[in-house]
């Protein structure tokens, strides 16, 4: 069985472009995004790593640490990182695991024999400060990941951890959220004195200021 939502993210120790990393220790009290790449010098992933580096202010604002993974060794990563800086116009500012022995890939079920037993699938794991896996997204090799969507998921998770809310379809910070059905109207009046709009007894929309959602 693969990784399940809500379980503790498996800990590991592995080499990286920033030295040996003990994963849980490295995460500390931060949120984490662990995302894998099939191997070095792949074109789609080259663009993704550049975008991840550009988004550093957004990760920092949300207390998120990002870490990549590829099954090639550190010396291969070094050459790829130079290519990324040259083609994407930004230097990497986060570690990339060198999972040459497939230890982390196996631990996180990133190797799918039906896809290609020689490479990892392109997985994203969002992990909270309690080290619990909160979201898993898997992409096909031909489709670049949408890191703005990953940020949106983190925004939703952080908001709904703070308040008794869920976020509706296409939600963005500042949009109305849903009061969860387990909250009575009486409790909702205390939690959301600004009031809400009831579409159905189970569907109550409440406006949340953008600053409260970030």
* C-alpha angle 72-74-77 in degrees, rounded to nearest 5: 70
Neighbours of 204 (CB within 10 A): 22
**Residue of 9, 45, 119, 179 marked catalytic:** 45
42 pLDDT band (50/70/90 cuts)? confident
Q: Nearest-CA neighbor of 65 among 94, 24, 91, 38? A: 94
Phi, psi of 75 (to 5 degrees): -65, -30
Judge whether 166 and 177 are in contact, CB under 8 Å. Answer: yes
pLDDT score, position 211:
59
Active site residue 45: yes
- The per-residue pLDDT for range 105-134, each reduced to its tens digit, is 889 988 766 555 455 568 999 999 999 999
Q: Bin 172: left if φ > 0, else alpha if -120 < ψ < 50, else beta.
A: beta
pTM, two decimals, is 0.92
Tell me the CATH number of domain 163-213, given options 3.40.50.150, 3.90.1580.10, 3.30.1020.10, 3.40.50.880. Answer: 3.30.1020.10
Helix (H, G, I), strand (E, B) or coil at 11: coil
Name the residue ranges covered by the structural domains of the chain: 13-145, 163-213
Helix (H, G, I), strand (E, B) or coil at 60: helix
72 pLDDT band (50/70/90 cuts)? confident
- The per-residue pLDDT for range 147-198, each reduced to its tens digit, is 999 999 999 999 999 999 999 999 999 999 999 999 999 999 999 999 999 9
Superfamily of domain 13-145: Glutaredoxin (3.40.30.10)
Burial track 31-45 (b if 16+ CB lie within 10 A, e otherwise): bbbbbbbbebebebb
């Amino acid at each position: 069985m693969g990784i399940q939502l809500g379980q503790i993210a498996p800990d590991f120790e592995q080499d990286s472009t920033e030295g040996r990393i003990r994963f849980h220790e490295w995460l500390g009290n931060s949120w984490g995004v662990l995302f894998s790449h099939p191997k070095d010098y792949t074109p789609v992933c080259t663009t993704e790593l550049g975008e991840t580096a550009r988004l550093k202010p957004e990760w920092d604002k949300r207390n998120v640490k990002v870490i990549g993974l590829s099954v090639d060794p550190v010396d291969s990563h070094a050459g790829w990182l130079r290519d990324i800086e040259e083609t994407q116009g930004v230097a990497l500012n986060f570690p990339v695991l060198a999972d040459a022995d497939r230890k982390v890939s196996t631990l996180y079920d990133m190797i799918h024999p039906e896809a290609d037993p020689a490479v990892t699938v392109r997985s994203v794991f969002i992990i909270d400060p309690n080290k619990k896996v909160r979201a898993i997204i898997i992409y096909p090799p031909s489709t670049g990941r949408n890191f703005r969507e990953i940020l949106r998921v983190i925004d939703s998770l952080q908001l709904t951890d703070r308040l008794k809310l869920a976020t509706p379809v296409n939600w963005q910070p500042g949009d109305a959220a849903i009061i969860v059905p387990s909250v009575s109207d009486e409790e909702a009046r205390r939690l959301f004195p600004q009031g809400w709009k009831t579409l159905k007894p189970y569907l109550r929309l409440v406006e949340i200021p953008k600053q409260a959602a970030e």
